[in-house]
Amino acid sequence: MARSLGELAAEFGCELIGEPSATVSRVATLADAGDGHLSFCADSAYLELLRNTRATAVILRSTDVEQCPVAALITDNPYLVYARIAVALHPEPAPVVGVHETAAVSASATISSSAEISRNAVICDDALIGDDVVVGPGAVVGPRCKLGKGTRILANATLVQDVTVGERCLIHPGAIVGSDGFGNVQGENGWEKLPQIGGVRIGDDVEIGANTTIDRGALADTVIGKGVRIDNLVQIAHNVQIGDHTAIAAQVGIAGSTVVGKRCKFAGQAGIVGHINICDDVIVAGKTVISKHVTEPGFYAGSIPGEPHKDWKRKVARFRRLGDLTDRVTALEQRDKSTKTASSDDE
Amino acid sequence: MARSLGELAAEFGCELIGEPSATVSRVATLADAGDGHLSFCADSAYLELLRNTRATAVILRSTDVEQCPVAALITDNPYLVYARIAVALHPEPAPVVGVHETAAVSASATISSSAEISRNAVICDDALIGDDVVVGPGAVVGPRCKLGKGTRILANATLVQDVTVGERCLIHPGAIVGSDGFGNVQGENGWEKLPQIGGVRIGDDVEIGANTTIDRGALADTVIGKGVRIDNLVQIAHNVQIGDHTAIAAQVGIAGSTVVGKRCKFAGQAGIVGHINICDDVIVAGKTVISKHVTEPGFYAGSIPGEPHKDWKRKVARFRRLGDLTDRVTALEQRDKSTKTASSDDE
Amino acid sequence: MARSLGELAAEFGCELIGEPSATVSRVATLADAGDGHLSFCADSAYLELLRNTRATAVILRSTDVEQCPVAALITDNPYLVYARIAVALHPEPAPVVGVHETAAVSASATISSSAEISRNAVICDDALIGDDVVVGPGAVVGPRCKLGKGTRILANATLVQDVTVGERCLIHPGAIVGSDGFGNVQGENGWEKLPQIGGVRIGDDVEIGANTTIDRGALADTVIGKGVRIDNLVQIAHNVQIGDHTAIAAQVGIAGSTVVGKRCKFAGQAGIVGHINICDDVIVAGKTVISKHVTEPGFYAGSIPGEPHKDWKRKVARFRRLGDLTDRVTALEQRDKSTKTASSDDE
């Protein structure tokens, strides 16, 4: 979608240095951009690329405008303005309104006339599909699920049952929301199933990654706050609550009944145990295990980066012998003390 | 499904304190329960909630009955009885018997007349679908798969081929059972594929979580024992054998040909290397790596919980300098010894 | 598919000791093999099994032929020859050519007349399906995806959009290729989405595991080199580049924009941070975190195997007190030095 620089400057609150009638139709990196492309420079590390760019225009800070060989859209926050203009230039395709003839829809489901139900999608009993919703090819919307205005459920994703999704959410392919929690009780002859009867409630503007799994609550609901961002292959167990605007990177696991605050950020492969509370504004490093309540905002870590195997092997051996080393230090201290005592005796 | 307390007491072997004709129709937590709800108290930590509950009845131990302001179902194992009554009050919906008109079924498949084949499900050649089986929307049952009585394969799950599933199993949405193992042989021009021709055999009463993957065997079958419980996003590689009643939490990975005993419990994100044996009754802590045979039952661990980054950074730095510290201790010991020697010489 | 030993010896360059007209129809392990089965012995650890095998023939090195009680196919690389003969004996089923009546195909898609589009598969707008391609049941090929000759996309897998796949690739069930990268920009009122407009380019002879996720690029493409092997539940983030013939085991995560060299091998659950370069021929141990550029080929490690909990707990406690231990050593050194100084003063 081509837009003129003049329009973009006005709409996104930038100062324009350049020809207002010039148009851009897509975004690109400083290095790759060519004619009709818009790029951005948010970091002085890229000034060399900026000086050589062949973009039609670049979004940047006023301090970098001298280095820019082409038209400039000046703003204090180039990255954010870039994201917004990228949305304008690359809008999601409009829903192909209607129920595709290959989709299978229960007679008891309610579907807005502005929604798209794609090829081979399935809408089960008593589901409620709001305005402008898209249900992608092969996606399944289970019994009693409710999808708010503008939400999109992409290909082969599944809302199992009793999942309420807010407005403008984006659920990526293969994600499973509302599956049973892992509830097992020891019986005389092995595990017995603890029925999982809660649902999942998802706020507005939430994004859930590909093949991520979010379990329904055992009794009460699992809750995902508004504006939460969840990456691919994440596990959210039953009765977890995630605060607004928290971001969770790929392959993180959060065990049952844990309550996560607002604006937290969990890096990839972190593991959060069950039944704990994590306060607002907690950042967790990649692969870190959080095993206790966290009551102070801040940055938490717990992984040790890898290194060449022969060095690592030696470190692990020393770690294993830390008990010996401690004993040796204690022995030295005792000899030192007895020496001193002896020496004091001498005096 | 409403049931009277009298009936429930008789059926589940509880002593009833209260009006036998009172009915309950669902389970709820002590805090949330209201009229017509049944709750439970299995832990004295919840006695305060018990004293204030508005449930119609509570399942509890005789020792707690004095604290209970409402009807009580008394048993020695409140949690287990609660699970069983919850199953009775919240039964799985009965199969909608028959093949939905949007399902695609091979002419060579055999389908029990009491089974449900849901919307857009696919049943491939030579599959065998037993009595009371449910194949959920979009699920795929591949060639030569066999599903025992009462087993349910939920939405968008896939049994790839040659998967034999016992009775009363529950395979959650998005799970993949019977995919090729990761078999690669180094050729002159890169990897060559080692054909995977085994199947997967799954015992009775097994539960497999959402988006979990279980590979077929390379030659012999991958085997999941009866009563095994597997959570979401777990990886079980080719030729693994899992003993009866073992429970595996989310995001655990078990590499190829490993044999796991009975009644083991693996916590989330643990990693078990290939080609090892783990005996019965082994418990593995979250994120722990098991890299060798385990021949003794018991609790194994291998992860270090995270902490504030500035503290952790210091600990990692000290870990890295453990070699230096060891050298310093050795130097002290040598000086200590030479001092002693010198001092002995003196004497 | 039965083949005579004479044919196999000629086709795969082996010396045959035995009757050329004897036939084998499947591969099996030395222990399980019976009449009509072909086995292999690539490791002298299995000589006892070799001596007792009831296979019709065994592939082995000339040095082991004396131990073989049955026909022998002699080669320098028994494992590779075994893999190749296994492919010959167990070929993938030929495509069931044509578009199944339950598949849903866009009018703008182009489909080779030799391709198989299975039950309930979906082919979206402007997709291009090459010769001999198989699109499995419930699989979705999104807009503008291109599949090269002989590639197979298995059940319920999804190519989201703008994914170009080479020839002879194998994409396993539930895999998601081309989902949005995790691109979020901090706005005044929470996260804003950074549109992801790149695609994914996959070379020839690539295998992608079940429920693995590979994100599309933010601007440029995510790139998977030729001959790459990716196991199940792996996360490949946006703009990652994987060099030819690299193998990635289950549950590995590779964060955004990282460039991985050729012929690398990453073991299960490893985590590679974003924006780094890893050179060719790097091997990473299971669960290891790689947090910096790797410029030297070799074997890297960073995880500590688990052990009995009571031992591990003690080790972790000592690790936590490493600062104290260091202080104690420093104190001993200072006393030692002052003793020495004092003692020097004495002299």
Radius of gyration of chain B (CA): 28
* Average pLDDT for C240-245: 98
A279 part of contact set with chain B, CB < 8 Å: no
pLDDT for res B339: 72
Cβ atoms of A104 and B155 within 8 Å: the answer is no
Residue A171, C-beta contacts closer than 8 angstroms, at least 6 positions apart? A151, A152, A153, A154, A157, A159, A165, A177, A207, A208
Task: State the Cα–Cα distance between residues A82 and A26, nearest whole angstrom.
Answer: 11
Q: Which residue in the set B27, B79, B227 is minimally distant from A190, CB to CB?
A: B227
Q: Is the pLDDT of residue B346 over 60?
A: no
A283 part of contact set with chain C, CB < 8 Å: no
Please enumerate, as own/partner, the contacts of A221-230 that have beta carbons within 8 Å and a separation of 24 or more.
A222/A181, A222/A198, A224/A200, A225/A262, A226/A166, A226/C190, A227/A203, A227/C189, A227/C190, A227/C191, A228/A203, A229/C182, A229/C184, A229/C191, A230/A206
DSSP per-residue string spanning A94-152: PP--EE-TT-EE-TT-EE-TT-EE-TT-EE-TT-EE-TT-EE-TT-EE-TT-EE-TT-E
Helices A309-320 and C309-320 pack at an angle, to 10 degrees, of 100
- Helix or strand holding residue B265 (H, E): strand B265-266
Percent of chain A with pLDDT over 90: 93
End-to-end CA distance of chain C: 93
What pLDDT, in 10s, does the model give residues C111-130?
Answer: 999 999 999 999 999 999 99
Q: Is the pLDDT of residue B345 over 80?
A: no
* Average pLDDT for C269-292: 98
| Sequence letter at residue B31 | A
CA-based nearest residue in chain A for residue B103 = A104
- Whole-number mean pLDDT of chain C? 96
> C104 with C206, same domain?
yes
What pLDDT, in 10s, does the model give residues A207-231?
Answer: 999 999 999 999 999 999 999 999 9
Which residues of A are the active-site residues? 238
- Out of A300, A323, A338, a domain closes at A300
- Whole-number mean pLDDT of chain B? 96
pLDDT for res A336: 79
pLDDT for res A302: 97
Residues within 8 A of B (CB atoms), C 58-87 only: 79-80, 82-84, 86-87
Q: Which two tokens stand for residue C214?
A: 């590979």
Range of the domain at B339: 309-346
Q: Is the pLDDT of residue A347 over 80?
A: no
* Average pLDDT for B136-158: 98
Task: State the Cα–Cα distance between residues A316 and B187, nearest whole angstrom.
Answer: 35
Task: State the Cα–Cα distance between residues C145 and C163, nearest whole angstrom.
Answer: 5
Cβ atoms of C300 and A307 within 8 Å: the answer is yes
Cβ atoms of A240 and A256 within 8 Å: the answer is yes
Contacts of B301 in chain C (CB under 8 A): 306-309, 312-313
pLDDT for res B347: 47
Class of residue C63 by CB neighbours under 10 A (exposed 0-12, middle 13-18, buried 19+): exposed
| Sequence letter at residue A51 | R
Q: What is the pTM of this model?
A: 0.96
> B133 with B190, same domain?
yes
Under the banding of pLDDT at 50, 70 and 90, the label for residue B1 is confident
Percent of chain A with pLDDT over 70: 98
> B68 with B148, same domain?
no
> C132 with C261, same domain?
yes
* Average pLDDT for A248-260: 98
Residue C69, domain CATH: 3.40.1390.10
Angstroms from B21 CA to nearest CA on chain A: 25
- Out of B27, B62, B89, a domain closes at B89
Distances (CA, A) of C138 to A10, A237, C96, C120: 46, 27, 15, 5
Residue B260, C-beta contacts closer than 8 angstroms, at least 6 positions apart? B240, B241, B242, B243, B246, B254, B272, B278, B282
Contacts of A289 in chain B (CB under 8 A): 286-287, 303-306
> Which letter, b or e, does each residue of C45-60 get, where b requires 16 or more Cβ atoms within 10 Å of its Cβ?
ebbebbeebebbbbbb
> A218 with A270, same domain?
yes
> B264 with B121, same domain?
yes
A309 part of contact set with chain B, CB < 8 Å: no
CA-based nearest residue in chain C for residue A29 = C219
Among C316, C255, C245, C263, which Cα is nearest to C290's? C255
Cβ atoms of B127 and B143 within 8 Å: the answer is yes
Residue C66, C-beta contacts closer than 8 angstroms, at least 6 positions apart? none
- Whole-number mean pLDDT of chain A? 96
Task: State the Cα–Cα distance between residues C72 and C40, nearest whole angstrom.
Answer: 9
> B179 with B259, same domain?
yes
CA-based nearest residue in chain B for residue A216 = B210
Under the banding of pLDDT at 50, 70 and 90, the label for residue C341 is low
> C104 with C231, same domain?
yes
CA-based nearest residue in chain B for residue C92 = B195
Q: Is the pLDDT of residue A309 over 50?
A: yes
Contact at CB, A193 and B172, closer than 8 angstroms: no
Residues B141/B144/B149/B155 CA torsion (nearest 10 deg): -10
DSSP per-residue string spanning B143-188: TT-EE-TT-EE-TT-EE-SSEEE-TT-EE-TT-EEEEPP--EEEET
Helices A322-346 and C309-320 pack at an angle, to 10 degrees, of 50
Contact at CB, C332 and B332, closer than 8 angstroms: yes
Under the banding of pLDDT at 50, 70 and 90, the label for residue A337 is confident
Q: Which two tokens stand for residue C49?
A: 């099994």
Cβ atoms of B234 and B247 within 8 Å: the answer is no
Residue B338 or residue A30, greater confidence: A30
C316 part of contact set with chain A, CB < 8 Å: no
Angstroms from A53 CA to nearest CA on chain B: 39
Helices B309-320 and C309-320 pack at an angle, to 10 degrees, of 100
Kindly report the backbone phi and psi dihedral angles of residue C27, in degrees, each rounded to the nearest multiple of 5, phi listed first: -95, 155
Asked which of A43-47, A184-188, B277-281 is least confident by mean pLDDT, the reply is: A43-47
> B175 with B321, same domain?
no
> C269 with C136, same domain?
yes
Kindly report the backbone phi and psi dihedral angles of residue A201, in degrees, each rounded to the nearest multiple of 5, phi listed first: -115, 125
C104 part of contact set with chain A, CB < 8 Å: yes
Q: Is the pLDDT of residue A141 over 90?
A: yes
Residue to mutate among C101, C125, C182, C343, with most A CBs inside 10 A, is: C182
B119 part of contact set with chain A, CB < 8 Å: yes
Contact at CB, A179 and B316, closer than 8 angstroms: no
Classified as helix, coil or strand, B289 is: strand
pLDDT for res B320: 93
Among A251, A255, A252, A243, which Cα is nearest to A281's? A243
Q: Which two tokens stand for residue B313?
A: 């950074």
Residue B266, C-beta contacts closer than 8 angstroms, at least 6 positions apart? B246, B247, B248, B249, B252, B272, B283, B284
- Counting the structural domains of chain C, the total is 3
A312 part of contact set with chain C, CB < 8 Å: yes
What pLDDT, in 10s, does the model give residues C129-169?
Answer: 999 999 999 999 999 999 999 999 999 999 999 999 999 99
* Average pLDDT for A144-163: 98
Cβ atoms of B241 and B259 within 8 Å: the answer is yes
Cβ atoms of B9 and B16 within 8 Å: the answer is yes
Percent of chain B with pLDDT over 90: 93
| Sequence letter at residue B128 | L
Q: Is the pLDDT of residue C342 over 70?
A: no
Q: Which residue in the set A120, A210, A286 is minimally distant from C289, CB to CB?
A: A286
Contact at CB, C306 and B329, closer than 8 angstroms: no
C28 part of contact set with chain B, CB < 8 Å: yes
pLDDT for res C305: 97
DSSP per-residue string spanning A279-338: -TTEEE-TT-EE-S-B-S-EEEE-----EEHHHHHHHHHHHHTHHHHHHHHHHHHHHHHH
- Out of A45, A60, A89, a domain closes at A89
Among A292, A217, A283, A288, which Cα is nearest to A253's? A288
Task: State the Cα–Cα distance between residues B34 and B43, nearest whole angstrom.
Answer: 20
Task: State the Cα–Cα distance between residues C184 and C192, nearest whole angstrom.
Answer: 6
Q: Which two tokens stand for residue A112?
A: 């807005």
Under the banding of pLDDT at 50, 70 and 90, the label for residue C1 is confident
> C161 with C258, same domain?
yes
Angstroms from A131 CA to nearest CA on chain B: 24
Contacts of B138 in chain C (CB under 8 A): 120, 138, 156
Task: State the Cα–Cα distance between residues B61 and B64, nearest whole angstrom.
Answer: 6
Under the banding of pLDDT at 50, 70 and 90, the label for residue C347 is very low
Beta strand B184-187 with B190-193: parallel, antiparallel or unpaired?
antiparallel
> B176 with B257, same domain?
yes
ipTM over 0.90: yes
Task: State the Cα–Cα distance between residues C19 and C217, nearest whole angstrom.
Answer: 57
Residue B247, domain CATH: 2.160.10.10
Cβ atoms of A148 and A130 within 8 Å: the answer is yes
Task: State the Cα–Cα distance between residues C169 and B170, nearest whole angstrom.
Answer: 32
Cβ atoms of A166 and A148 within 8 Å: the answer is yes
Cβ atoms of C65 and C51 within 8 Å: the answer is no
Q: Which residue in the set B32, B210, B268 is minimally distant from A176, CB to CB?
A: B210
Beta strand A298-301 with B3-4: parallel, antiparallel or unpaired?
unpaired
